[in-house]
Amino acid sequence: MRKLIHADLYRLFHRPYLFVLTGILCALAVLFNLMFSTDASIQKTLQFSLNYLKFLPLFEVMIVDIVMAEENKFSTLKNTISSGFGRKCVYTGKLITSLILTVFCDGIAFVFYLCSAFLRLHGNDLTSAFMGDYLLHIAVALLLIVGAMFVAMIFAVAFQKNAVYIFAFIGFILILPLVFEGFGIRIDIFRLLYKITIFGQAEGLYDIKNAQLYEPILVAILHIVISGIIGIHIFKKQEIS
């Protein structure tokens, strides 16, 4: 598996796609801080940033696309499997590669975000307790993003056409939760369904208390476990062309 991961990382880090995506995320992070006046506090921008973390899981469609979906598109996955790697090994390796790329892209973007905030805004009201709470929320957001990555991998192996894969993922991660939220105004069961979605939990990170962070953690773990089992099962049964 290590050879498979190393080969994927070598291939992907020698393509401009990954760096372009990282650059876009970094630019968006810096532009977000430019929305605030120079006399605004760092605490304000950090608080507002939690409200936009709900969109980060959508970027997993691009990470998984270059790791797995392109293999289906260009029919190179068959060569990997025929080289002696078991399907479970291949699938797990693709997940680990996707996780490494996710941490790489989001980590660099987060560093750019913090640097632009500290260089441009003042931090007179910033305390260690606040930063501790903020970083805890960021860690939970990362776990939700990983959950979205596992979901994206299911659609990447289930649908070999990129357009279908992308629309299916966005429909599940974004559109379906919004439908649940709309019906949840009047029907309790839909409100509950909304709360167990990745988007529903990511949207609530803005004002959730530390004592309630177990909710998004459980939702993320639930998506990771269930999606991992379903994804491996589909991949084992799938005919690779």
d(CA 174, CA 187) in angstroms, rounded, equals 19
Spatial distance between the Cα atoms of 43 and 52, rounded to a whole number of angstroms: 15
- Token digits of residue 6: 């190393």
User: What percentage of the chain has pLDDT greater than the value 90?
Assistant: 43
> What is the number of alpha carbons within 13 Å of residue 190 lying toward its C-beta?
12
Question: How do residues 38-80 score in pLDDT, each as one tens digit?
Answer: 787 888 888 888 888 888 898 999 998 888 877 666 666 776 6
As given in the structure block, the two tokens for residue 160 are 């070999």
The count of domains in the chain is: 1
Give the range of the structural domain holding residue 208, as residue numbers without chain letter: 2-237
DSSP state string for 113-133: HHHHHHHHSB-TT--HHHHHH
Calpha distance 41→180 (Å, rounded): 36
Which tens digits make up the pLDDT trace of 158-179?
887 778 888 999 999 999 999 9
3-state SS, residue 45: helix
Candidates 152, 117, 118, 171; CA nearest to 223 is: 152
Entry pTM: 0.90
| 114-133 pLDDT, tens digit each | 998 888 877 777 788 888 89
